[in-house]
Amino acid sequence: MQLARLTTIVLGVGFAAGCGDNFEAPNFPTTDCTSATTAHCLEIHGGDSAGLVTAANSIEAGTTIVLGAGTFEMTGQLTLRTPGAHLIGQGIDVTTLDFGATTTQGNGVDAIGNDFLIQDLTVLDAPKDGIRVEASTGVVFRRIRATWSQASSSSNGAYGIYPVKSQNVLVENSRAENASDAGLYVGQCQHVIVRNNTVTGNVAGLEIENTQYADVYGNTAEDNTGGIVVFDLPGNPIVGRDVRLRNNLIRNNNHVNFASGGTVGNIAVGTGTFALASRRVEITGNTYQGNNTVDIAVLSGLAIEQDVTKWTLPTATLSGSYADLGLLPGGPAGTIMNFRGENIVIAGNKHTGSGTRADAGDPLMLGLLLLLAYNGQAVDSVLYDAIGEPAFHSTDAALNSNANHLCIGGNTGGTFASMSLERQSPTVQIPFFRPAAPFRPFDCTALAGGPVADVVLP
């Protein structure tokens, strides 16, 4: 580290002098360059935002930037494009990158580069996304927070913690708050672990979108509009698969929906979890509590986009593995469609106190349908839209099909209903099918093709 330390000193002097700062002792109570694991390391004292931006734009591959205690007043996004960049502060409440005075468009931290790590700091009031890491392999978010100082503001940035189009992603012991779209948003990634994070005050707390092989456990989603959701968007060439939500706490997600429209604008206030246009999903061992509309909803993509041509993807454009999924063929040769919600296991979850006050105002009118259907009773713990089921009957289990292989058999701590959503409207109400445990014909307990495998990061 000797050479790296020398580099640090040279840079530090240059910038302290340039900015007319005093030569203050750096403030690194928790971490400094002696513990860096990269080939190079720089220390930037707390508040030296100019020094930080210069360092970010000058570092060699494999450089740790250690940030001192204090608040860095940022005038624009912090842009990193160097492989092996590690950004480490002195603690989630000790080092803050504050973008509140930024007058230009941009994210907070905007990084592209393999082996990226961000740790022990807070990103505050970013104009767009808090921390966006894109097209990178090997990404770690650890003990960080992305937040906006004003709660429930639709002008807050979209996503707090946002790894996108990346591989081998770990997000742990972090917090995401007050995002106007999703607090912790994993988009179009492969091989992901999201664990022991807390998401609060967001529209969507934690989203897994068009993502393959994700293990989401030990997280707390509280006071969001929707807690933890899994979905594919139409037209995206990564078909989501193999997502495991387990042992999370998902409670009181009854926050007003303050999104300015978009997919999350459709989320009914009081939604614990939905899986939409998703396949090979396991939702197990979670604790659901006090989500006013419903704990878990299993939905077809057609619930938000009815035009199947928009769910049609040429197989030549697809990323990742899909051949074993048995996806529906599209109209044109060489295409598939991914709107189905299928091959989902829901088991061993605890459900208490939810479904007691469904949202009457969500754009999809799901909440309104529930209010009408349940008429004062609590909504069942798990709801299924039954879109794509060739057979539906309100009372006779033998006259219901389970073509989408939805397995509720092991979810004996909760209740279940399917609802033939395609035929429902506020004026045409078809009684829900509400079987008792083990919820025949949805009484299977295992995914077709075997369980979701553990995600092992290199």
Cα–Cα distance for residue pair 285/99, rounded to 1 Å: 38
Q: How far is the CB of 334 from another protein (least distance, A)?
A: 15
Of 5, 142, 195, 310, the residue at the interface with another protein (CB under 8 A) is: 310
C-beta of 29 vs 262, nearer to another protein: 262
Distances (CA, A) of 26 to 171, 244, 307, 379, 455: 29, 43, 58, 57, 39
- Per DSSP, the residues of 32-66 read -GGG--SSEEEEE-TT-HHHHHHHHTTPPSSEEEE
How many residues of this chain interact with another protein, rule: CB under 8 A?
60
Q: What angle do CA 170, 172, 178 make, to 5 degrees?
A: 110
188 vs 293, which CB is nearer to another protein?
188
Torsions phi, psi of 98, nearest 5?
-105, 115
Q: Answer yes or no whether residue 150 interacts with another protein by CB under 8 A.
A: no
User: Are 99 and 126 in contact, with CB atoms under 8 Å apart?
Assistant: yes
Q: How far is the CB of 112 from another protein (least distance, A)?
A: 7
Instruction: Please say whether the beta carbons of 154 and 123 come within 8 A.
Output: no
3-state secondary structure of 30: coil
73 binds another protein (CB under 8 A): no
Stretch that binds another protein, among 5-13, 61-69, 76-84, 278-286 (CB under 8 A): 76-84
215 contacts 169 by C-beta, under 8 angstroms = no
Least distance (Å) between residue 209 CB and another protein: 8
Q: How far is the CB of 115 from another protein (least distance, A)?
A: 14
Q: Does 24 bind another protein (CB under 8 A)?
A: no
**Residues 178, 151: contact at Cβ < 8 Å?**
yes
Q: What CA–CA distance (Å, rounded) separates 272 from 288?
A: 7
Q: Indicate which single residue of 38, 95, 96, 167 sits in contact with another protein (rule: CB under 8 A).
A: 167
Asked if 14 is part of the footprint of another protein (rule: CB under 8 A), the reply reads no
Please pick, from the candidates 33, 53, 229, 386, the single residue that binds another protein as defined by CB under 8 A. Answer: 53
**Rule CB under 8 A: is residue 418 a binding residue for another protein?**
no
Residue 137 binds another protein (CB under 8 A): yes
Smallest gap from Cβ 366 to another protein, in A, equals 17
Q: Give the distance from CA 247 to its chain's centroid.
A: 16
The window from 3-11, 116-124, 177-185, 379-387 that contacts another protein (CB under 8 A) reads 177-185
Contact 81, 112 (CB under 8 A): yes
Would you tell me which residues interact with another protein (CB under 8 A)? 50, 53-54, 56-58, 75-77, 79-82, 102-106, 110, 112, 127-129, 134-135, 137, 154-159, 164-167, 180-182, 185, 187-188, 233-237, 259-263, 265, 304-307, 309-310, 319
